[in-house]
Amino acid sequence: MRPQTVQEMASAAEVIRRNLDGHSNTVYVNTRRLTHINMTAFNCIAEILSSACKADRQRKIVIVTSSVIAWSAPLFKTLASDEPNLLVEIYDSAFYPGQTFVEDESFIPILRTQTKMTWRHEREILGRHGLRDGLAIADICCGIGDFATLIKRHFNPTRLLALDHSRKSLEYARRVAADFGLTSIEYTYGDASQMLLADNQFDFVTCRHSLQIFDRPDVLLRELYRICKPGGRVYITNEKNSHCLGEPHSESIRWTYDQVARLFSHFDMDVEMGPKSRRLLTDAGFDAIQVETFMVTNLDGDPRDFANMIEAWENVYAGQMAVRRGDPPDFIRRFRQGFKDHVLAALHPKGYAGWPIWAASGRKPY
């Protein structure tokens, strides 16, 4: 909204006025896609909202903004400070149930060790799913950016955008990129379920371990599809946590990972999503779907890496999530024991420990 004169706003102003007049109780004004505004437009909207507030003090008007658009909430909040029945809601401050866990700093060690473990496999797998040198690539829900850094180094993309909604993870990612002198990765703060990116821009779109933590994976997939070029591919990875395994102490390990799946589901996250990838991609409209599984194990490299990953899981899953759910101490003790047994299996000279992952991709039809 960048009109030169207020007359240019006439028809938009009329729509807003008509809708406000037509509703009582609570009216929501959604500004999540309003990326740019000039003072002419803002003053015009402000005047309409203020008059509507004064005309009916019983009616609440809620402006829905997004933290992704930096100017939006502060500007509307200034306006709301003068009108008791005008409220501002930042839609993405609590927009999916597991948000506080995955956007927290304590998640960083998990993401670091996970990517270190999975890259050995994915480096080969990605080629089978169509990744090659010289493509425009987007890594959506990029976390701390380690995967983007690896893509940059090994696949020399023409463009590489990495988007996430965790400010802490993005700060970390930018720091790492600066330390390694990588200047061309476009780290972007954004909401993957409503991205401010144009349609049909990327040849290859990745979204790893993230559909499973969002309560509306279909919405995310729709966005991944939208930004992918026709003929391009969207690549996703997801887990099935209850299939994590280890020897010795397989029973204790199995019990704990069954509980992990239930714990995540309590927070509306589906860490059993891996085998559902084919259905999800099909329902989202992709064709030429490919699905494969791989098992990250303690034999892949240094078993200590595997053990570090499990310890990081234990810290967040037992130390934070189970506590938040209100689990009793006896449960948490048993829950922790399965992680400890998984670590033991990883470090045992005759032990075996595994973490299965589903990698899948689909082509956006021409």
Smallest Cα–Cα separation from 218: which of 280, 270, 165?
A: 280
239 near ligand SAM (CB under 6 A): no
149 near ligand SAM (CB under 6 A): no
66 near ligand SAM (CB under 6 A): no
Q: How far is the CB of 68 from ligand SAM (least distance, A)?
A: 9
Q: Given the complex with ligand SAM, which of 46 and 227 has the nearer CB atom?
A: 227
* CB-side neighbour CA atoms (13 Å) of 3: 15
The stretch near ligand SAM (CB under 6 A) out of 40-48, 52-60, 158-166, 254-262 is 158-166
Q: How far is the CB of 193 from ligand SAM (least distance, A)?
A: 5
214 near ligand SAM (CB under 6 A): yes
CB 233 within 8 A of CB 129: yes
Q: Given the complex with ligand SAM, which of 213 and 360 has the nearer CB atom?
A: 213
Which residue's beta carbon is nearest to the bound ligand SAM?
143
- As a whole number of angstroms, the distance between CA 301 and CA 344 comes to 16
Among 193, 242, 290, 361, binds ligand SAM (CB under 6 A): 193
Smallest Cα–Cα separation from 235: which of 265, 270, 257, 210?
A: 210
Q: How far is the CB of 122 from ligand SAM (least distance, A)?
A: 10
Number of residues in contact with ligand SAM, rule: CB under 6 A?
A: 21
SS3 percent helix, strand, coil of the chain, rounded to 5, is: 50, 20, 30
The stretch near ligand SAM (CB under 6 A) out of 54-62, 153-161, 204-212, 297-305 is 204-212
Could you give the angle at which helices 250-266 and 329-347 cross, rounded to 10 degrees? 130
Q: Given the complex with ligand SAM, which of 193 and 290 has the nearer CB atom?
A: 193
Angle at 202 between CA 72 and CA 291, to 5 degrees: 115
342 near ligand SAM (CB under 6 A): no
The pair of structure tokens assigned to 66 is 């997004």
- Per-residue binding letters, 80-119, with ligand SAM (x by CB under 6 A): ----------------------xx-------x--xx----
Only one residue has tokens 């004169």, namely 5
Q: How far is the CB of 234 from ligand SAM (least distance, A)?
A: 14
Q: Given the complex with ligand SAM, which of 147 and 225 has the nearer CB atom?
A: 147
**Residue 133 region, left (φ>0) first, then alpha (ψ -120 to 50), else beta?**
beta
312 near ligand SAM (CB under 6 A): no
297 near ligand SAM (CB under 6 A): no
Q: How far is the CB of 256 from ligand SAM (least distance, A)?
A: 19
- As a whole number of angstroms, the distance between CA 46 and CA 54 comes to 12
232 near ligand SAM (CB under 6 A): no
Strands (E), the chain: 26-30, 60-65, 86-90, 136-140, 159-164, 185-189, 202-208, 228-239, 245-247, 287-297, 352-363
DSSP character string of 217-236 = HHHHHHHHHHHEEEEEEEEE
The stretch near ligand SAM (CB under 6 A) out of 4-12, 135-143, 154-162, 299-307 is 135-143
The pair of structure tokens assigned to 296 is 């990250």
Q: How far is the CB of 223 from ligand SAM (least distance, A)?
A: 9
Residues of the shown chain interacting with ligand SAM in the complex, contacts defined by CB under 6 A: 102-103, 111, 114-115, 141-143, 147, 164-166, 169, 191-193, 208-210, 213-214
